[in-house]
Amino acid sequence: MDIELKALSDQVIVITGASSGIGLATAMGAAEQGARLVLAARSKQTLDQIARQLGEQGRQVIAVEADVGDPLQVERIATAALAAFGRIDTWINNAGVSVYGRADEISLEDARRMFDTNYWGVVHGSRVALPHLRIHGGALINVGSEASEATIPLQVMYSATKHAVKAFTDGLRLELEADAAPVSVTLIQPTAVDTPYPEHAGNYLDQEPKLPMPMIEPEQVAEAVLDAARSPTKAVRVGAMAKLNTTLAKLVPPLGEMMAKMQIGRQQRNEMPRSREGTLYRAGESGRVHGRGNANAADAQTAKALNRR
């Protein structure tokens, strides 16, 4: 069936992982287009500040502290959305964490924690959102990665979570299409993005982690997410390297594997490592859209966007 989605200015949009990176960039982009927003993350202090600043600009925004690994907390996001705005039009499962290290060295506790957020967070969000989206129609958008199809050495566990997200998203879409449900289901697969992702990640390396160049800006991913919120689409690979890496992994596996192995030495900075856990078990509270890959854009650009009148 043909699925019609509302203009962003008429939508109530839920975004998980909204306190930094892609989630925050998406929130700011949606706010500029007049959407009513439900922003969820573990970072309560940062989230409250973002909601307050956007509210001062005349935006309709609520903040909900929630860990997407806990289904009861995800239910609380939906309850807050309905209490504030009466419905949900788009639900964006964006929250994610990573761990840098070799697959046989990362603790099972850390690996399970990553799956709780990256995979089960998507499952919980989807299961909570779908009863509401089925009634009035809408969009379910899951943020995956090029790692959904092209595994990244030293981020093998992260890649595994994103493979699982892709399988879940693709299968869920097929079931909803078979039911003729008025719900658009989209998988977003970005390449490396200049966000605080490496700073938030757990780290078993003997140096500070980073993402390999080239990186794209988080606003480019946010634009793809918001496009999917207003125009039904199945999957979007964001960035030239996402298209190249996933195509090679599928069509020319030996070349794809060679390029993947080259990334092993390109994921460290010449710096002493910080604490191992990163934000696996605690909120980050960075409140930044950008990471360290684009020094001129980082905190100043985020602050400028939030304070724009």
What does the pLDDT average to over 48-58?
A: 95
CA distance 18 to 50: 9
Tokens 């939906």 sit on residue: 78
What is the b/e burial string over 124-149, where b = at least 16 CB atoms within 10 angstroms of the residue's CB?
bbbebbbebbeeebbbbbbbbbbbbb
For the cut 90, the answer to whether the pLDDT of residue 297 exceeds it is: no
In this predicted structure, the answer to whether residue 74 has a pLDDT above a threshold of 60 is yes
Among 23-32, 168-177, 255-264, the range scoring the smallest mean pLDDT is 255-264
Mean pLDDT of 207-229: 92
Would the pLDDT of 305 be above 50? no
pLDDT tens across 55-67, in order? 999 999 999 999 9
138-143 and 183-190 strand pairing:
parallel
In terms of pLDDT, which residue wins out, 267 or 47?
47
Q: Report the top-level CATH class of 8-306.
A: alpha beta
Does the structure show a pLDDT above 50 at 91? yes
pLDDT over threshold 60, residue 301: no
Query: Above 50 in pLDDT, residue 45?
Result: yes
Closest CA to 84 of 65, 66, 60: 60
Pairing of strands 90-93, 138-143: parallel
Q: Name the pLDDT band for 264 (thresholds 50, 70, 90).
A: confident
pLDDT at 193: 94
> Does residue 127 surpass a pLDDT of 60?
yes
pLDDT digits over 100-115, tens only?
999 999 999 999 999 9
Closest listed residue to residue 185, CA positions, set 199, 175, 198, 194: 175
pLDDT class of 307 with cuts at 50, 70, 90: very low
Q: Compute the distance between CA of residue 202 and CA of residue 93 in angstroms, rounded to an integer.
A: 21
Helix axes 21-32, 44-56, angle to 10 degrees: 20
* Whole-number percent of the chain with pLDDT over 70: 93
**Residues belonging to the active site:** 158
Range scoring the smallest mean pLDDT among 22-26, 163-167, 178-182, 211-215? 211-215
The reported pLDDT for the residue numbered 209 is 86
Amino acid 308: pLDDT: 43
User: Is the N-terminal amide bond of 214 cis, ω within 30° of 0?
Assistant: yes
The residue type at 128: V
d(CA 120, CA 127): 10
**Cα(68)–Cα(18) distance, integer angstroms:** 12
Domain borders along the chain are 8-306
Report which residue type is found at 114.
M
Q: What is the mean pLDDT of the chain?
A: 89
